[in-house]
Structure 1
Amino acid sequence: MSGEALLRFAAVCQRYEDGSRGLEECSLSIRPGSRNALLGPNGAGKTTLLLHGVGLLRPARGQVEFQGRPLDYGRAGLRQLRQRVGLVFQNPERQLLSASVYEDISFGPLNLGLPEAQVRQRVEAALGAVGLADCRERAVHQLSFGQKKRVCIAGVLAMEPELLLLDEPLAGLDGPMRREFEALLEQLAGQGITILLSTHDVDFAYRWADDLHLLAEGRCLASFPARELPRQQALLAAAGQALPAVLGLHRRLADLGLLPDEPPRSLDALLAALDGAAPDLKRNPA
């Protein structure tokens, strides 16, 4: 993957106070405007990497860069970074600070010292983006788990970031909530926001992401366009990941001569390909 990086991790090493390894010579780059998924087993370093991306951790060795410049870990530097890079934690309870939805989302813009009218405009825009405009006055504790995650994203969006980092955003969501959340991610990406998220769901990562990054034992084993995933089985296995289910199904159908060899990236795309092949199958039944 070429081009200037928006966010770059260069041989980053991280050790925790108990001596456990967080990252080990971890290097990867995030392209502006791209959708990125971090894949890897528990303990691979995915959350640690995201914390470094917003300056909550500082490398023991190596370097994190934003728009080609090393992060400035001084108070002013981190304040500026967090206006441009937002992090959403896996557990929304870690991030929700206020009693009401409106108060929580307005917390960041108010801390920037923005005029009240501008804060209100940002909060209303963020509420609309996540589909919670009718919940602005509700108490945070009355919200569902999925709604709490949306409030956390809205709080980050109110800062108008260029890069959105999300730690396991689909964890704990049921089927309908997952579909709503994926639609929200599509909407945000369509607005030009660069997205980097961690996930255990390789099927979702394959159909959604532009670029995939495989982590294991604190290292980035490989980064590549998502469309190349079918040719990366060995690397997927090294990162503790199975092939997406759609690829196994496609392989069986291709072997039967029902579909071309080029695999689709989602079940919907596979079904559409089967529908397109249906007239030929009727004319040439097996």
Structure 2
Amino acid sequence: MPVLAFESVHFRYGDQTAGLADCSLHFEAGSRNALLGANGSGKTTLLLHAAGLLRPEAGRLMLDGVPLDYSRAGLHALRRRVGLVFQNPDNQLFGATIAEDVSFGPLNLGLDAPTVEARVHAALAVVGLSALAGAPVNQLSFGQKKRVCIAGVLAMQPDLLLLDEPMAGLDPAMQAEMQALLERLSAAGVSIVLATHDIDFAYAWADALHVLAAGRCIASFPASALPAHTARLQAAGQPLPGVLRLETALSARGIAVPPLRSLDALITHLSPSSGPSNRATGDGRPQENP
């Protein structure tokens, strides 16, 4: 059963701008999901609905097979299970120090002080900021602020983590750190849904891709099946991953390569020094010798 499902959801903003239009898709428990689409396609609107911050005009959302409850108690219960990290961390930071900010959510759950302290400590350890717990939030780098926001959500111990453009504004080193963090969270069993414009990252990282256009989900499929859905991507104004473009160019020159999901994996495969023991599998992970 999906952890969260959208069933024919419609939503318009106050100026009658369409946010979602007959949008249907679902996210499996424990999976890694990437939302793809141009600006205005509905990615952020979808995340706000998933977090209970917007309510559909028609259609419904199902959490573990049960319709979302928009009462005060229902939304309180939802936010124990679903956490949202905004694209701009300054829209989400309230505390004077890192520890104070991360403790905000657990305190609002009514947890006792020792439990809150333990959750803050654990969340900061996950994002690698334990040593800066007492640091002023306003002195942090953009990437550190994003990690504080994630820690604040993790301290609520959600089953489903939503992230809006988590790589936006990060330099390559910080992007690598963010991807490593996402890997750790996924390994811990957290379901992840993120909106991104980075098709190369999405293809290499996600289990499932969901393509949005004009508020509709026009395609949902396993990331490994992306080569069969290039027309849908292009219809949504999305580029093809660089690794697919390179594979096509190599094929046109008579060079056959296995389906790989990252440029790093393809480069490793083509390297003269790469023997059978360090060839890469289709998802970019090292392939063990039989």
TM-score calculated relative to the size of structure 2: 0.93
1:9 and 2:20 equivalent? no
Letter of the 1:270 counterpart: L
Among candidates 143, 157, 161, match of residue 160 of structure 1: 157
Contact 1:246 1:264 (C-alpha < 8 Å) held by counterparts = yes
SS in 2 for 1:243: coil
- In the TM superposition, structure 1's runs of 4+ consecutive aligned residues that sit over 6 Å from their partners are 276-280
Question: 1:248: which partner in 2?
Answer: 245
Q: Deviations over 1:51-79 (max 9, x none)?
A: 00011000000001100011100111000
The whole-number CA distance in structure 1 between the counterparts of 2:272 and 2:17 is 53
- Whether the 8 Å CA contact 1:258–1:277 is kept in 2: the answer is no
Name the counterpart of 1:65: 62
The amino acid of 1:115's aligned partner reads D
Instruction: State yes or no: 1:76 paired with 2:80.
Output: no
Aligned with residue 114 of structure 2, among 117, 120, 126: 117
Query: Quick check: 1:14–1:24 contact (8 Å CA) kept in 2?
Result: yes
Shift of 1:265: 0.1
Q: Distance in 2 between matches of 1:247 and 1:12?
A: 33
Q: Distance in 2 between matches of 1:258 and 1:127?
A: 47
Alignment partners' CA distance in 1, 2:52 and 2:157: 18
In the alignment, the residues of structure 2 paired with residue 168 and residue 79 of structure 1 have an alpha-carbon distance, to the nearest angstrom, of 25
Q: Of the candidates 205, 216, 226, which is equivalent to residue 208 of structure 1?
A: 205
Q: Give the 3 Å change call, closer, same or farther, for CA 246–101 of structure 1 in structure 2.
A: same
Q: Give the corresponding residue for 1:134.
A: 131
Equivalent residue letter for 2:266:
L
1:192 aligns with 2:189: yes
**Secondary structure, counterpart of 1:6 in structure 2:** strand
Separation of aligned partners in 2, 1:124 and 1:259: 50
| 8 A contact 1:72–1:78 mirrored in 2 | yes
Q: What is the CA-CA distance between 1:277 and the residue it aligns to?
A: 8.5
The Cα shift of 1:268 comes to: 1.5
Provide Cα deviations, 1:257-281, integer angstroms capped at 9, x if missing partner: 4433x3210011102211378679x
Q: How many residues were matched structurally?
A: 276
**Letter paired with 1:233:** T
Q: Which residue of 2 aligns with 1:272?
A: 268
Q: Find the counterpart in structure 2 of residue 284 from structure 1.
A: none
Q: Does 1:174 align with 2:194?
A: no
Structure 2: how far apart are the matches of 1:278 and 1:218?
45
Consecutive unaligned residues in structure 1, runs of 5 or more:
281-286
Q: Is the 8 A contact 1:259 1:273 kept in 2?
A: no
Whether contact under 8 Å (1:164, 1:196) holds in the other structure is yes
Q: Which amino acid aligns with 2:217?
A: C
| Counterpart Cα distance in 1 of 2:273 and 2:121 | 47
Distance 1:145 1:59, change over 3 A: same
| Matching residue's letter, 1:121 | A
Q: Out of 30, 45, 51, which is 1:33 matched to?
A: 30
State how far apart, in whole Å, the 1-side matches of 2:154 and 2:275 are: 47
- Pick from 90, 93, 101 the counterpart of residue 87 of structure 2: 90
Is the contact made by 1:259 and 1:277 (CA closer than 8 Å) also made in structure 2? Answer: no
> Where do 1:41-60 residues align within 5 Å?
41-60=38-57
**Matches of 2:13 and 2:264, distance apart in 1:** 43
- State the alpha-carbon separation in 2 of the partners of residues 183 and 277 from structure 1: 27
TM-score, normalization: structure 1? Answer: 0.94
State the distance in 2 between where 1:116 and 1:180 align.
30
Percent identity for Structure 1 against Structure 2: 59
| CA-based RMSD | 1.4
Name the CA distance, whole Å, in 1 between partners of 2:140 and 2:85: 17
Provide the rounded CA distance (Å) in 1 between the counterparts of 2:253 and 2:34.
Answer: 32
Amino acid at match of 1:80: A
SS of the residue corresponding to residue 265 of structure 1 reads coil
2:76 alignment partner, SS class: helix
**Unaligned 5+ runs, structure 2:** 277-290
- Given that residues 258 and 274 in structure 1 are in contact (C-alpha distance below 8 angstroms), is that contact kept between their aligned partners in structure 2? no
Query: What displacement does 1:114 show?
Result: 1.0
Q: Alpha-carbon deviations, 1:177-234, whole Å to 9, x = none? A: 1111111111110100000000001011000000000000000001000011111111
Deviation, 1:30, is 0.1
Moved more, 8-17 or 109-118: 109-118
